[in-house]
Amino acid sequence: EKIEKGGFPHFMLKEIFEQVYSIRDTIRGRVNLEASEIFLGGISEMLPKLLQADRIIIVGCGTSWHAGLVGEYLLEELAGIPVEVEYASEFRYRNPIIREKDIVLAISQSGETADTLAAVRLAKEKGATVLGICNVVGSGIARETDAGVYTHAGPEIGVASTKAFTAQIAVLTMLALSIGHKKGLLSDEKYRNYIQELYHLPNKINEILKKDEEIQQLTLLLKDCPNAIYLGRGCQYPVALEGALKLKEISYIHAEGYPAAEMKHGPIALIDEKMPVFVIATRDTYYEKIVSNIKEVESRKGNVIALINPGDEIVKDIAQQTIEIPDTLESLSPLLTVIPLQLISYHIAVLRGCNVDMPRNLAKSVTVE
């Protein structure tokens, strides 16, 4: 086992660090930098259907559901397709309306999650075209879907999903970009820009991983908090949800992820000097809004830990702590902002003496209801 962990104390940490390579594996052979092209062989025959789709319904559970929420943002923003994201466990027990030009997309690391598999079967019964994004080759969902894209993240052993999440988002990004370009929504130049940036993203992940010690230091002050709040807007909202889930899963600290503007409809009542509030405050469309959200938290004495882009003196001035994330295109930034949140959860869990790789009551793959 020691060898399998490759010198890391836990699989989770190994898998967080592997993201530099796993993202490369996900895009390898699919993103062609010279030709500025994306080719997803597994679904190439489905492209005509995707180009004409009225709607994509994404189903998944846990972290895969969060990747679906990032996918919603990407597919609507870049590919102009309306998207709904459903918990597979809810979808399968409703009588979901699926129309002729709807496509159902199941996301699952293991490809064996019982609820997601049942959702796939229901969608097929209803005559839908069903696609899959799975990590495990030959898994149930991969076999039962009409076509799909493997994430190629390699085996994920830690129960809390990390590299599979970023691989799922990388696939969703490639899907959204290729559809958007084929539909003429993305100019050749924009498409090329995205492709180049996506290609170089692993280097930026590496930059963030170099801050591991700094992040570990920061968690010393947070390890005893009973609660935590995570805030983000736009495509960072699902990242906030994922940050909160990671903390809950492995450190047993109660955490909630919220769209930052919703804070005033409830969570703000919880904020006092004991409450860490993680805010994803990268310089994007919502930047000004996020800055005012941080001020609201600060004025209630909350302890703001903000993820910022380099040189952001405004947020540095008002937040208690900041972690710098390299600049990138807004739609690609979830692939970067989630990394420090994974590291934060990991270090807090270790400091609390928790079993990081096998947290209590959780399973890597929930194959029964």
Q: Residue 264 and residue 257: Cα distance in Å, rounded?
A: 13
For ligand G6P, the closer of residues 183 and 364 by Cβ is 364
**Least distance from C-beta 161 to ligand G6P, angstroms?**
4
Does 63 bind ligand G6P (CB under 6 A)? Our answer is yes
For ligand G6P, the closer of residues 26 and 161 by Cβ is 161
Q: Determine which residue in the list 12, 13, 61, 198 makes contact with ligand G6P, applying CB under 6 A.
A: 61
Give the containing element (helix H, strand E) for 114: helix 114-125
For ligand G6P, the closer of residues 31 and 119 by Cβ is 119
Does 151 bind ligand G6P (CB under 6 A)? Our answer is no
Structure tokens at 62: 């846990």
Does 366 bind ligand G6P (CB under 6 A)? Our answer is yes
Report the helix count and the strand count for the chain, using DSSP H and E.
14, 12
**Least distance from C-beta 38 to ligand G6P, angstroms?**
23
Does 49 bind ligand G6P (CB under 6 A)? Our answer is no
Q: Determine which residue in the list 19, 26, 64, 178 makes contact with ligand G6P, applying CB under 6 A.
A: 64
Q: According to CB under 6 A, which residues from 161 to 180 bind ligand G6P? A: 161
With CB under 6 A as the rule, give the number of residues binding ligand G6P. 16
Q: Residue 134 and residue 155: Cα distance in Å, rounded?
A: 12
Residue span binding ligand G6P (CB under 6 A) among the ranges 213-221, 254-262, 318-326, 358-366: 358-366
**Least distance from C-beta 86 to ligand G6P, angstroms?**
14
Give the containing element (helix H, strand E) for 57: strand 55-60
What residues does 258 pair with on adjacent strands?
A: 231
Place of tokens 């570990």: 216
For ligand G6P, the closer of residues 141 and 348 by Cβ is 141
For ligand G6P, the closer of residues 161 and 178 by Cβ is 161
Structure tokens at 103: 């496509």
Residue span binding ligand G6P (CB under 6 A) among the ranges 94-102, 153-161, 185-193, 200-208: 153-161
How does DSSP assign 177-216, residue by residue?
Answer: HHHHHHTTSS-HHHHHHHHHHHHHHHHHHHHHHTTHHHHH
Q: Of the residues 49, 126, 183, 364, which is catalytic? A: 364
Q: According to CB under 6 A, which residues from 178 to 237 bind ligand G6P? A: none
**Least distance from C-beta 281 to ligand G6P, angstroms?**
26
Query: Looking at this protein, which amino acid is placed at residue 8?
Result: F
Structure tokens at 97: 């309306």
Distances (CA, A) of 82 to 26, 54, 326: 25, 7, 30
Structure tokens at 211: 């801050």
Does 365 bind ligand G6P (CB under 6 A)? Our answer is yes
For ligand G6P, the closer of residues 151 and 309 by Cβ is 151
How does DSSP assign 119-148, residue by residue?
Answer: HHHHHHHTT-EEEEEESSTT-HHHHHSSEE
**Least distance from C-beta 363 to ligand G6P, angstroms?**
6
The burial of 261, by beta-carbon neighbours within 10 Å (0-12 exposed, 13-18 middle, 19 or more buried), is given as middle
Return the SS3 of 259. strand
**Least distance from C-beta 195 to ligand G6P, angstroms?**
27
Taken in order 97, 103, 109, 110, the sign of the CA dihedral is positive
How many other β-carbons are positioned within 10 Å of the β-carbon of residue 333? 25
Tell me if residue 364 is catalytic. Answer: yes
Structure tokens at 112: 């064996």
Place of tokens 């890597």: 364
**Least distance from C-beta 61 to ligand G6P, angstroms?**
4
Binding map of ligand G6P across residues 86-125, x = CB under 6 A, - = no contact:
----------------------xxx--x--x---------
For ligand G6P, the closer of residues 168 and 293 by Cβ is 168
User: Which positions touch ligand G6P (CB under 6 A)?
Assistant: 61-64, 108-110, 113, 116, 159-161, 362, 364-366
Residues that are catalytic? 364
